[in-house]
Structure 1
């Protein structure tokens, strides 16, 4: 069925959406509402560390093809604390010509904390993918987020030899743009990423020079294609790599090191990462 969907220009695609809202209570953060259309849903929240709500986002079909459009909206009410991840990688499969779109918008109210820690996003050769992630923060919000793109399937020596990736990443604080970043790849030209199959970004807010130095101390394993910058309280870590294991290790080490500094809570890794 999947192969037919990929090559059939008449395929309409999934039109799926998921809207989540989290609310603070004296005991813990609650998933106040969850509305979904199509194959996007979540598992029941759980609380391995008390107040913070841990949530797994699910996309049952397991992959995204040309013609699919997925819209995810996450809202955190004041003082709410939420960690969101996924059981597995997101996959953008080869397209017969239509574009596959994933739009993600996050809204953080005063003193709320979002940890957006998805698994990697795999782009198969021939994918036609448009991804947009936008974070809307208040000055008193706390954000820890990352994204990791895998171009092709390096473990079987497969590259992103053809196809298109349009990626846009934005951070707005009190309605002012703090980061607007775009990545465009097409026709097998990986020059913008120096030929690397793994492309990663981590974001932390509010950050200081101490946070910047803590992040930089963990970058040597990524050798010469990694860096961290601090701009108006937003810490951005970017890297390119040929080794997924090193990517995963360094990303988690940076998050584990900075989380106690930003929230006063020790890192509590989602159990799904161990499976």
Structure 2
């Protein structure tokens, strides 16, 4: 039995509130929903935890998320646990997100890790469109196999795309697309080399991508300050100096900063990403970090 789930999220300012208050609403069909709007840091920021009751995505499942953040609103979206793509007998499991962020709006896309089980066949597609004046912080952690159990990803196919674009959809500021295919005889050998090569995964199983993006380009000074803030936060984070971690911060486009990191386990990367998120949050919005409580449960 396969599941088809669709969730439409809408964030807007309450027109009747004396001070900025973001109202978050969700309409769903199928097993994908938001249980409650949370305000742990005041009314201006709406925290949503996305829940997929079946607990994992299997071959043939299709999960679609749409998010609209209106002018002046601020949304933080996360998950209560890992997203799991389980092994498939043949069909592909698909998850997609399409988010639009209006002028003056803020979005934080901060799900916990994605676990790609051995023999999974999966596609994960994220697209963010930012209007002039919009800003966002996001991350994606992908773990191949079950690193903590030393269960490697040796069969299956995983495809991922992350796109950051102008709100009119006319081209992309930054695109990351990749396919790991161990089932197609024409691609399996190349995929294994990519997983083991120092120019690829280098034998590591966890890849983290974090970014901050702008609908209007920051100044060069502001952009360089964000790069330095990320590097300093990474170097000073708990567990800094671990030889098992590789990381770098770049600005591939005037409106985008990207941090890439690799490791053998999810937890060390998360420990280092949290201070980077806090540093970007402070630099971009003068806000302290307010970690969702679900991350500690």
What TM-score, normalized by structure 1, do the two folds share?
0.92
1:213: which partner in 2?
A: 228
Tell me what 1:261 maps to: 283
* Off by >3 Å, runs of 4+ in structure 1: 218-224
Alpha-carbon separation, structure 1, partners of 2:147 and 2:9: 34
Partner of 2:13: 24
User: In the alignment, which residue of structure 2 is the partner of 1:239?
Assistant: 261
Equivalent residue runs for 1:24-103 within 5 Å: 24-25=13-14, 26-31=19-24, 33-50=25-42, 51-103=44-96
8 Å contact 1:219–1:227 — kept in the other structure?
Answer: no
CA displacement at 1:233 relative to structure 2: 2.6
Unaligned runs of 5+ in 1: 1-10
2:101·2:167 contact (CA, 8 Å) conserved in 1? no
CA distance in structure 2 between the partners assigned to 1:235 and 1:37 by the alignment = 35
Q: Which residue in 2 is equivalent to 1:126? A: 119
1:6 alignment partner in structure 2:
none
Q: Are 1:204 and 2:226 matched, yes or no?
A: no
Between the aligned partners of 1:193 and 1:136, the Cα distance in structure 2 is 29
* Structure 1 position 174, deviation (Å): 4.1
Aligned-residue CA RMSD (Å): 1.5
Query: 2:250: which partner in 1?
Result: 229
From 149, 173, 176, the counterpart of 1:178: 173
After TM superposition, give the deviation of residue 183 of structure 1 in Å: 1.6
Cα offset, 1:194, TM superposition: 2.2
Please give the secondary structure, in 2, of the residue aligned with 1:209: helix
Q: Tell me the distance in 2 between the aligned counterparts of 1:267 and 1:79.
A: 19
Residues in 1 aligned to 2:178 and 2:32: alpha-carbon distance in whole angstroms: 26
* 1:195 positional shift: 2.0
Gaps of 5+ in 2: 183-190
- The corresponding residue for 1:7 is none
Check whether the contact 2:87–2:119 (CA below 8 A) recurs between aligned residues: yes
DSSP-derived class of the 1:168 partner:
strand
